[in-house]
Structure formats: structure tokens, C-alpha cells
């Protein structure tokens, strides 16, 4: 079963309708601009357990929603 995100405006919708974007923190010790861009683009965190995420409903109401999700099971916690 695919991940289902609860949209406060449209109801529960499949994850394919949403866009998730993480803005990672790049260590200040990296001074090379190319290395900083590489880290910003590809080095995302991968926490295990409950996390709070922001999702943009691109194929629906075009609004942001906050979701608390367990990354181990993809279960939405509230």
C-alpha cells in the first residue's frame, strides 16, 4: 500500500500528489561552494522513527500541510 497523506482541505490523498522538500543544514566547515551545493542537493537526513514533515499538495489544493510520520512504517501518526 502506498503512503496516504491527510490533506486538511482535500481529505486523504496518495503521496504522488504531494511534493516533499527538505532543506538540509550544510556544515560550516565546508567552504568550497561546489561541495556545499552538492551537500545541499544530495545529502539529506534519513532519521529513523517519528518525524515532523511539511508536504505541499501540488496536485490538489496547492497548500502546505504538516504531518507527523513514522519513517520505519510510513504510518501517519497525527
Residue 19 CA to residue 53 CA, distance in Å, equals 11
Provide the number of structural domains found in the chain.
Answer: 1
Burial of residue 8 (CB within 10 Å: 0-12, 13-18, 19+) is exposed
User: How confident is the model over 27-77, as pLDDT tens digits?
Assistant: 777 788 888 788 777 777 788 999 888 899 999 999 999 999 999 998 999
Query: Which residue in 1, 3, 2, 10 sits closest to 58, CA to CA?
Result: 10
| pLDDT above 90: residue 78 | no
**What residue numbers bound the domain in which 16 lies?**
4-76
User: How confident is the model over 6-16, as pLDDT tens digits?
Assistant: 999 999 999 99
Q: Specify the pLDDT at position 29.
A: 79
Q: What is the CATH number of the domain that holds 64?
A: 3.30.2270.10
Amino acid at each position: 500500500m502506498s503512503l496516504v497523506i491527510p490533506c486538511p482541505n482535500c481529505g486523504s490523498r496518495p503521496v504522488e500528489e504531494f511534493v516533499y522538500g527538505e532543506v538540509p543544514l550544510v556544515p560550516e566547515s565546508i567552504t568550497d561552494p561546489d561541495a556545499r551545493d552538492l551537500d545541499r542537493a544530495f545529502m539529506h537526513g534519513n532519521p529513523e522513527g517519528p518525524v515532523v514533515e511539511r508536504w505541499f499538495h501540488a496536485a490538489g489544493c496547492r497548500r502546505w500541510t504538516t504531518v507527523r510520520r513514522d519513517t520505519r512504517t510510513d504510518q501517519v501518526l497525527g
